[in-house]
């Protein structure tokens, strides 16, 4: 899944693709680089970000989605708003990637249920301006068990809205109401989340916990655009553990990694893809 941020303030590439023309060009390049899905978003969810108006978000994403979908791309809309999801699906998107899992706008579940789209539900506790205040996981089993339980609650709501299990993907929400240690615990505990029975989408690309791991001698985190190698190492791990999809910025490098793994799998008889059929 290649990231297309049609925003002025996303943490990694905010402003680079903030207009329709540059966003479409970027999406087309990601397809050439090997993306299976383009994830198009018009709202930054970096820690501390403020929300755009609904009209702003619509104006950012709908023209990009309609153009890339017309090109034949599989398009996901990265939104928490029912109104934006509905417009995006009408424009040609087939996946709704909701970082709030339906908590920010419960009506988004009704939109998905009525259209037959795939729904990605991420673990989420609050909007970007206060989510890190809720990064506390002191119960039994720590962050892994808390995320598992809270995702299971979202699955109950998703089913109640009429979305069938074969259209659902779950995301542990690395970096969302999580400290660096929480993110590493979640990566290590993905098998526990997979026990819920749904494909997993993981978005670790260029996130701050990688920057902190690679901090310099003075303790300053590695800059955002210098974290790619660490992300590629994670892609290897995630693919070998059967994760359905990785959400990344540098599609070409990640595709190269997956091509190597697939080639080696031919020699060993091992697979790198999930056993559960993908939505």
Total number of domains constituting the chain:
1
- Model confidence at 277: pLDDT above 80: no
Question: What local confidence, expressed as pLDDT, does residue 268 receive?
Answer: 86
Catalytic residue, from 125, 167, 206, 247: name it: 247
For this structure, is 247 an active site residue?
yes
| Residue 15: predicted pLDDT | 66
pLDDT at 276 over 70: no
Asked if the structure places residue 10 within a domain, the reply is yes
Other Cβ atoms less than 10 A from the Cβ of 4: the count is 31
Residue 54 lies in a domain: yes
Domain-located, residue 239: no
Using CA atoms, how far apart are residues 201 and 3, in angstroms rounded to an integer? 13
pLDDT of residue 203: 96
Q: What is the mean pLDDT of residues 216-230?
A: 95
In a domain, 131, yes or no: no
Sign of CA dihedral 260, 261, 264, 265: negative
Tell me the average pLDDT across 14-21: 80
Is 104 contained in some domain? no
For residue 196, pLDDT beyond 50: yes
Asked whether residue 214 is domain-assigned, the answer is no
Structure-token pair, residue 184: 């590493």
- Which domain does 89 fall in, by range? 1-95
Average pLDDT, integer, range 109-137: 95
Binned at pLDDT 50, 70 and 90, residue 128 comes out as confident
Average pLDDT on 204-224 reads 95
Tell me the pLDDT band of 275, cut-offs 50, 70 and 90.
very low
Q: To 10 degrees, what angle do helices 54-70 and 20-33 make?
A: 40
CA–CA separation, 155 vs 86, rounded Å? 21
Residues 93 and 133: their CA atoms lie apart, in Å, by: 33
pTM of the model: 0.92
Establish whether 207 is a catalytic residue: yes
Of 148, 167, 178, 207, which residue is the catalytic one?
A: 207
Query: 34-48, 87-101, 235-249: lowest mean pLDDT where?
Result: 34-48
* Confidence check: pLDDT of 272 > 70: no
The residue among 12 and 144 whose pLDDT is bigger is 144
Q: Does the residue 80 lie in any domain? A: yes
The share of the chain scoring above pLDDT 70, in percent, equals 94
pLDDT at 13 over 80: no
Sign of CA dihedral 213, 214, 216, 222: negative
Choice among 126-130, 218-222, 237-241, 254-258 with the minimum mean pLDDT: 126-130
DSSP 134-179: G----STTHHHHHHHHHHHHHHHHHHHTT--GGGEEEE--TTSS--
CATH number for the domain spanning 46: value is 3.20.20.20
- Cα–Cα distances (Å) from 26 to 17, 68, 76, 201, 234, in that order, read 7, 10, 15, 22, 24
Whether residue 71 lies inside any domain: the answer is: yes
Give pLDDT, residue 9.
63
Phi, psi (5° rounding) for residue 274? -65, 150
DSSP code at position 121: E
In terms of DSSP bridges, do strands 95-98 and 118-122 run parallel, antiparallel, or are they unpaired? Answer: parallel
Confidence of residue 16 (pLDDT cuts 50, 70, 90): confident
């Amino acid at each position: 899944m290649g990231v297309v941020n049609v925003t002025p303030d996303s943490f990694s590439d905010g402003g680079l693709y903030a207009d329709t023309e540059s966003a479409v060009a970027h999406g087309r390049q990601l397809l050439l680089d090997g993306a299976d899905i383009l994830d198009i978003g018009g709202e930054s969810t970096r820690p501390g970000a403020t929300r755009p108006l609904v009209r702003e978000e619509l104006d950012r994403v709908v023209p990009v989605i309609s153009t890339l979908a017309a090109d034949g791309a599989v398009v996901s809309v990265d939104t928490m708003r029912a109104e934006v999801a509905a417009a995006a699906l009408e424009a040609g998107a087939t996946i709704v990637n909701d970082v709030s899992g339906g908590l920010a706008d419960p009506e988004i579940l009704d939109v998905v249920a009525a259209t037959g789209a795939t729904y990605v539900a991420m673990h989420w506790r609050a909007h970007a301006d206060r989510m890190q205040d809720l990064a506390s996981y002191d119960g039994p089993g720590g962050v892994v068990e808390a995320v598992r339980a809270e995702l299971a609650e979202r699955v109950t709501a998703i089913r109640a809205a009429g979305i069938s299990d074969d259209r659902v993907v779950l995301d542990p929400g690395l970096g969302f109401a999580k400290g660096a240690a929480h993110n590493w615990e979640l990566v290590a505990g993905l098998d526990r989340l997979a026990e819920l029975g749904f494909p997993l989408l993981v978005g670790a690309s260029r996130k701050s916990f990688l920057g902190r791991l690679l901090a310099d001698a003075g303790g300053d985190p590695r800059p955002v655009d210098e974290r790619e190698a660490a992300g590629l190492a994670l892609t290897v791990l995630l693919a070998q553990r059967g994760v359905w999809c990785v959400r990344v910025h540098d599609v070409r490098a990640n595709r190269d990694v997956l091509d190597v793994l697939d080639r080696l799998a031919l020699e060993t008889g091992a697979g790198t893809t999930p056993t559960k059929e993908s939505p």
